[in-house]
Amino acid sequence: MYDVKKGFEVAKEIFAQYGVDVEGAMAICDSIPLSMHCWQGDDVGGFEKKEGGLTGGIQATGDYPGKARTAEELRADMEFAMQYIPGVKKVNLHASYLEADTFVDRNEIEPKHFEKWADWAVEKGIGLDFNPTYFSHPKSDNGTLSAADEDVRRFWIEHGIRCRRVGDYFYQRTGKPCVINHWTPDGDKEFPIDTLSPRLRMKDSYDQIFEATEDVQGVVDGIESKVFGIGAESYTVGSHEFCMGYVMSKKRDHIILTLDTGHFHPTEVVSAKLGAIFAFSDSLLLHVSRPVRWDSDHVVAIDDETKTIMEELVRLGKLQDTYIATDFFDASINRIAAWIIGLRNTRKAMLAALLQPVDLMKKAEADGDVTARLAMAQEFRASAFSLVWDYYCAEKNAGVGLDWLKDVKGYEASVLATR
């Protein structure tokens, strides 16, 4: 192990030349909650007592051994991973991760089915986020909130209503706001003749969900768009235009847009959308993922787009107004390592962005010095941020560099291999 403190002192000197407050950047970075998605731990399986695989046009590929089979195992795995993820964390649950002795259908879920999750979160001092599960169900094959069949649509509206009540329960139990992400897979393999009616039905469904739960407190609702899903390539009811239109037309503080980095055309980037969204909205839910040619939900990388998103949020002064959640599911590698790599990368990109002299860059721009603007932006793409990152991880006891890897291998041999 190298002298982490010495490296940190050198980095501080480097950043001081540009007036960057390194300690301040670390403190901000540490305070921003990252919502850790539970579904990486079991390939989006969930714990409902029912048969049937993953549907909705998403896929977890790979069959790496050791996935969590019960909620207890999942909590243990998440706890293990969390040790190596510095900073404030929340846990993001799907409705399908309920705990009950018998099968509970989606239109019957209640807070009591999530009591053990809430007990655990309270014990750990973390907040809980939530997601209605509008997929992997026989009634989701021909649409959910946009279904033409009124009984089916009613079923899913009831699910949405019940999920907001679970969100209220999480808020009451943890004292921290619950961010609910509403994503529906509704779409068509071919081009429909009538592209409007399903959208009007979905709009009405969301209205009904929110109207029936006006009394709910401490819940923020993200509406997540998508460009396409597998098997629904030609038409998506909840497209970007639909979701953005819905959110903007509602003008309700708790209804915000969710931008998932995997949900756009391959040449479109979320980082380029942020400034425009914040011109009309005070807040946003971000799903950080890594699309490889499609919404493949690879583990978040410390790549250009992740870094650019964080830079943009810092430069806009909107980091604190953005709810940041991870969303990927890779079944081809150790699932705990997937969490650690993905969430560490998300946090690391955030720290790198916070360690930039934004005021100097803004001044160069305001002065019309576009040469200095480019020079500075490029210089800080590859700064000494990793020395600060190592120190931050050491301070938080989260493992420096690859320290965590041998521990994960140990957990794999002693725990995962027995499953």
Q: Rounded to the nearest whole angstrom, what is the least distance from the CB of residue 183 to Mn ion in the complex?
A: 6
Q: Does 288 bind ligand L2XQQQDX (CB under 6 A)?
A: no
Q: Catalytic residue at 137?
A: no
In whole angstroms, the minimum distance from the beta carbon of 97 to Mn ion comes to 16
CA distance 315 to 319: 9
Site string for Mn ion, 296-335 (x = CB under 5 A): -------------------------------x--------
Query: What are the C-alpha distances in Å from 45 to residues 3, 37, 55, 70, 230?
Result: 43, 13, 10, 10, 18
Using CA atoms, how far residue 185 sits from 119, 136, 175, in Å, is 31, 10, 31
Q: Smallest distance from the beta carbon of 290 to ligand L2XQQQDX, in angstroms?
A: 12
Letters for 49-68 (x = contact with ligand L2XQQQDX by CB under 6 A, - = none) are ---------x----------
381 three-class SS:
helix
Q: Which of 67, 89, 287, 348 is catalytic?
A: 287
Nearest-angstrom CA–CA distance, 359 and 18: 10
What is the total count of residues that contact Mn ion (CB under 5 A)? 3
137 marked ligand binding residue: no
Q: Determine whether the annotation assigns residue 265 to a binding site.
A: no
Distance of CA 47 to the CA centre of its chain: 20
Scan residues 319-378 and list those touching ligand L2XQQQDX (CB under 6 A): 327
Scan residues 150-189 and list those touching ligand L2XQQQDX (CB under 6 A): 181, 183
Q: Which is nearer to ligand L2XQQQDX, 55 or 208 (CB)?
A: 55
Cα–Cα distance measured from residue 376 to residue 364, given in angstroms and rounded to the nearest whole number: 9
| Contacts by residues 275-279 (CB-CB < 8 Å, ≥ 24 positions apart) | 275/312, 275/316, 277/244, 278/316, 278/318, 278/321
Choices 28-36, 131-139, 144-152, 286-294 (CB under 5 A): range interacting with Mn ion: 286-294
Distance of CA 63 to the CA centre of its chain: 23
Does residue 287 have an active-site annotation?
yes
The answer to the question of residue 260 lying near Mn ion (CB under 5 A) is yes
Buried b (16+ CB within 10 A) or exposed e, 59-73: bbeeebebbbeebeb
Residue 42 binds Mn ion, judged by CB under 5 A: no
User: Measured between alpha carbons, how far is 174 from 121 in angstroms, rounded to an integer?
Assistant: 7
Identify the residue among 188, 260, 312, 390 touching ligand L2XQQQDX (CB under 6 A).
260
How far apart CA 89 and CA 36 sit, in angstroms, is 7
Catalytic residue among 226, 254, 298, 307: 226
Does the annotation mark 297 as catalytic? Answer: yes
CB of 42 to ligand L2XQQQDX, least distance (A): 11
Q: How many residues at the interface with ligand L2XQQQDX, by CB under 6 A?
A: 12
Find the largest Cα–Cα distance for the chain: 66
Give residues 289-328 in contact with ligand L2XQQQDX (rule: CB under 6 A). 295, 327
Is 29 or 286 the residue whose CB approaches ligand L2XQQQDX more closely? 286
Q: Is 295 annotated as a binding residue?
A: yes
User: Nearest CA to 287 among 37, 31, 32?
Assistant: 37
Which residue is closest to ligand L2XQQQDX by CB? 183
Query: How many residues comprise the chain?
Result: 419
Q: Are the CB atoms for 211 and 244 separated by under 8 Å?
A: no
Binding site for ligand L2XQQQDX (CB under 6 A): 39, 44, 58, 131, 181, 183, 224, 226, 260, 287, 295, 327
Binding site for Mn ion (CB under 5 A): 260, 287, 327
List, by residue number, the catalytic residues.
183, 224, 226, 260, 263, 287, 295, 297, 327
